[in-house]
Structure 1
Amino acid sequence: MGLTARGAGLLVAATALLGAGLRFAYPELTVLGATGAVAVGQAVLGAARRPRLVVAREADPDRVAVGDPARMTLTVRNAGRLRVASLLAEDRCAGSPVPVPLLRLRPGRDTTLGYDVPTRRRGVLPVGPLRVTRRDPLGLFAATRPYGPSTVIRVHPRVYPLTAVPTGAGRSLDGRVDGVPHGSITFDSLREYVVGDELRRVHWRTSARVGELMVRENVDTSLPRIVVLLDNRAAAHPDRTGGVAGSFEAACEAAASVVVAAFRQDLPVVLLMVDPGDDRAADPPLDRLAAVTLTDADPPEGTGDPDDGALGATVTRLRRDRPGDTLVFLTGPGGRDELGRVGTLRAAYPSMVVGVLGASGPTPAAAGPMVVDAVDGAAFAAAWDAVRRW
């Protein structure tokens, strides 16, 4: 809120004319100066009056994958008793201004307008509030005020369909994975008795009804508990293009693909970050992947013990807590030298997969977990489905 350049110039000129007219007794100068001062005063009073506007916004949708369309719709209603003159309005979307035209609104009337939200990059996009600027007809004074609520649109990483799911090492009565070894935990079906079957497995009621011995066929069902560990250290993703680490974006896509595949199979999955930082663990996994950023978690080389860094602390925590039996570690080219530290978790996690995203070549073979090298998220999905044994 304040005088425009034109208004400030007129006020200075009016003051000078008024002072000169009074000092040297020139009534013409006095009249001109007084007229300019009155014009500035009227402009201030007119533009300072706050129009009564009610602004509602709706994001459709408020959660979207990278590249998918999203639209913001604004409804502006004149809740006052007077007609509102044409106003200049501007919305803020992801830090960029979006011009919003507002015509003359009659009392009780509203206008609806919308614009497309840029979803080219993953992230949490703040939108709003609507800023309305009221000017006087001469452009001497402008008052800008915020109206309505602000919101956020979460742009999730791309999700690539995965058909393969780790079979896990834990046994559960609620398991959902087929093709598991036959055993004696959960009833599966009935079949005819063959020599060598244990008599305690004979189902006598069915045998009496069909006239021959029938035995229960049981299976051991497996319910894997998957832990997805995303390496969000800046040192693990050193390459940048336009300020964006492509390997980290690919790692986020790989993490989102694994999480969604687990959800679709009704499998429990835990998403963890190497450096928790500002991660909001209570939020849904895809929302966390939309908000996660790279952090400078580890001490610079030569200034501290690497075992005291974020990865060392995370490995220690995973070994102690064991939130699952299948570990999927997703890192970038800069994390290859520390795969041995992650490999020490083999005793706690019988099934392990390491994904190196943004890899320009294969990771040197070494004793340890299975490594999947992929240039981007799509290549990771193809390599993941090609894994025959976990």
Structure 2
Amino acid sequence: MAASGQVSGLRAALRGLTTRGRSFLAAGLTAAVCAFVFGQGALLQVGALLAALPLAAAGLLVRTRYRVASGRRLSPHRATAGQEARVHLRLDNVSRVPTGLLLLEDKVPYVLGPRPRFVLDRVEPRGFREVSYRVRSDLRGRYPLGPLQLRLSDPFGMCELTRAFSAADVLTVVPQVQDLPAVRLPGESAGQGDSNSHTLALAGDDDVIPREYRHGDDLRRVHWKSTARYGELMVRREEQPLRARATVLLDTRESAHRGSGPASSFEWAVSAAASIGVDLVQRGYRTRLLTDTGHAVPGQGAQGSTAAESVGALLDALAVVEHSDRGTLARAEEVLRLDGEGLLVAVVGTLDEDQADRLARLRRRTGGAVVLLLDTGTWSGLRHVLPDTPDEQAAARAARLRESGWTVLPVRAGDSLPALWRSADRTLNSLPYRDEVGA
């Protein structure tokens, strides 16, 4: 088995001969043939020397037993589209002998840039080397980095062997998030916003609302009557603040959007959903992301989740969201009918008359509703020549949504989301109180 492994290693080394090594080997064989033809013994010695040099280099690499370890660190792990991220590589020589010439190459997708290559001259025993490179993508998504490839080379550059590590990492490129102005959202005055109200655990022994004991609970909160009744340790509920709920509805239907690439209406909608979702989480809303497919990403309020974790889950979901082939928002409507309390912010593309009517009816189940209605024709250039030409059908559907209590924000290509969000505040302040709370 050992002999077979050495033979296979020698074959791999011969296949790894560089252009210089192959040239030396060819020159040596040619000199040897000429020596036999012309009877020149000195030429044979030269040929043997030329051929032996690359073979000796290949044999040396086969017998080399370097023990190296690698590590990779991303800064940051979650980058914004258009933002640079730095990848830090570390190579440790864990053997007792120094390494020779090493060539490092990390595999990266083409959208992140060319493959980075680094040359390390020598790494002393128990030593290490650190290198770094930058990556950047204008397209959101999840991109694998690695595995790291290590090329061993002899001092004369005759032969190279490639070894690959198994570890790899993933860089998540999330949509751009814009800072939104602090506005008064619908439903806040009705107790749906950042309220200081609390739900109190009842103090009476007969009216107490217990729950199961969890690791870390104070034993002084144990309710012994409930423990005896249920046969397991029960504790009194603590005073808990009421938290507002919000849903960000993103229309991903391919038929509802226009344009392509980062400048498409779909990418604008994804970035808007990310900005609004992050803003709501930071304002204390228990926020979830919902798409027309019915897929929902829970936000803050999920057991054990923090605001940072909620933002991370929201951005990770939006980093990989794609077009759907659905023609309606029916799946999302089903989810909202079952659990549609709190504030609803919808970012939608083109709507037909039936879809606008069904979306209008969802207003009755929410504490407040804001819709960003994209005029997708401006992204496709259909109204580029006459940018002020109104779309009568879109205007009629916007009016239908306003009549049902929605706060409608028409969006055209090039519009600023912070400015639109600020206009929502002015629109809400101009509405009567009964419309604001959905009375």
Q: Under a length normalisation based on structure 2, what TM-score does the superposition of the two structures give? A: 0.63
Equivalent of 1:3, from 3, 10, 17?
A: 17
Q: CA 1:152 to 1:225, structure 2 compared with 1: closer, same or farther past 3 Å?
A: same
1:258: which partner in 2?
276
1:364: which partner in 2?
395
Q: CA 1:379 to 1:342, structure 2 compared with 1: closer, same or farther past 3 Å?
A: same
Equivalent of 1:227, from 247, 250, 273?
A: 247
Q: CA 1:280 to 1:78, structure 2 compared with 1: closer, same or farther past 3 Å?
A: farther
Q: CA 1:236 to 1:42, structure 2 compared with 1: closer, same or farther past 3 Å?
A: farther
Q: CA 1:324 to 1:9, structure 2 compared with 1: closer, same or farther past 3 Å?
A: farther
2:203: which partner in 1?
none
Q: Structure 1: 5+ residue runs without aligned partners?
A: 188-220, 299-308
Q: Under a length normalisation based on structure 1, what TM-score does the superposition of the two structures give? A: 0.69
Q: How does 1:190-209 map to 2 (within 5 A)?
A: none
Q: Percent identity?
A: 28
Give, in whole Å, the separation in 2 of the partners of 1:335 and 1:377. 20
Q: How does 1:282-361 map to 2 (within 5 A)?
A: 284-292=313-321, 294-295=322-323, 297-298=324-325, 309=326, 311-332=328-349, 334=350, 338-349=355-366, 351-357=368-374, 359=376, 360=378
Equivalent of 1:163, from 174, 182, 186?
A: 182
Q: CA 1:170 to 1:310, structure 2 compared with 1: closer, same or farther past 3 Å?
A: farther
Aligned residue pair count = 336
- CA displacement at 1:228 relative to structure 2: 1.0
Give, in whole Å, the separation in 1 of the partners of 2:291 and 2:51. 63
1:384: which partner in 2?
421
- CA displacement at 1:226 relative to structure 2: 1.4
Q: Structure 2: 5+ residue runs without aligned partners?
A: 1-11, 201-240, 300-309, 379-386, 429-435
Give, in whole Å, the separation in 1 of the partners of 2:100 and 2:351. 60
Task: Give the letter for the 1:270 counterpart.
Answer: R
Does structure 1 conserve the Cα–Cα contact (< 8 Å) formed by 2:289 and 2:296? no
Q: CA 1:317 to 1:87, structure 2 compared with 1: closer, same or farther past 3 Å?
A: same
Q: CA 1:272 to 1:310, structure 2 compared with 1: closer, same or farther past 3 Å?
A: farther
CA RMSD of aligned residues (A): 4.1
Q: How does 1:148-159 map to 2 (within 5 A)?
A: 149-156=167-174, 157-159=176-178
Task: Give the letter for the 1:236 counterpart.
Answer: A
2:232: which partner in 1?
none
Task: Give the letter for the 1:111 counterpart.
Answer: R
Give, in whole Å, the separation in 1 of the partners of 2:66 and 2:296. 39
**Mean Cα deviation higher: 146-155 or 283-292:** 146-155
1:100-120 alpha-carbon deviations (Å, 9 max, x no partner): 242311111222222333254
2:67: which partner in 1?
52
Does structure 2 conserve the Cα–Cα contact (< 8 Å) formed by 1:7 and 1:140? yes
**Mean Cα deviation higher: 271-280 or 34-43:** 271-280
Give, in whole Å, the separation in 2 of the partners of 1:317 and 1:168. 22
